[in-house]
Amino acid sequence: MAKPAGSKKRSDSYDSRKLGDFVQTLRQRRGQSLGELARDADIAKQALSNLEKGSVVPSLLTLAALAEVLRVDLIDLVRVGQHSPEKQPKSSVYALVPMLEQLDDFQLDVVHAQLRGMLGLTKTTSAARRQSKFQ
């Protein structure tokens, strides 16, 4: 089932046009059609088209799916749409907060699992790993 691309509402703190241009450029460099990328990322073709036009602010789940297929870091996709640095907090991690706040518990669990996988983390906590190093 295709994932929604995100809210139809544009954000004053995020330039979805920049993101759309970036995704389109990456897709074209890979020689993929809009339909092929949509299929590979499990996103509706029209939703991807709207994303590339900059008419939607995508959900974090959509960005994660695109990042995986396009083989780019999720944070790079998030950063592309940010306005100038003086308008943003110093740490780019804070840019994720508005997107994360829109997710339900299940979606947060999915993002959490994807981030853990991207970071190569297992179910072992960092405290447990540190403790095992000293034994």
Q: What is the pLDDT of residue 46?
A: 95
pTM score, whole prediction? 0.57
- With a CB cutoff of 8 Å and minimum separation 6, the contacts of 94 are 88
Q: What is the pLDDT of residue 35?
A: 96
Alpha carbon distances (Å) from 107 to 37, 51, 78, 101: 22, 20, 17, 11
In this prediction, residue 103 carries a pLDDT of: 78
Low-confidence ranges of the chain (pLDDT < 50): 1, 3-11, 85-90, 124-135
The pLDDT assigned to 43 comes to: 93
Task: Give the Cα separation of 52 and 17 in Å (integer).
Answer: 7
pLDDT of residue 88: 45
**pLDDT of res. 37:** 96
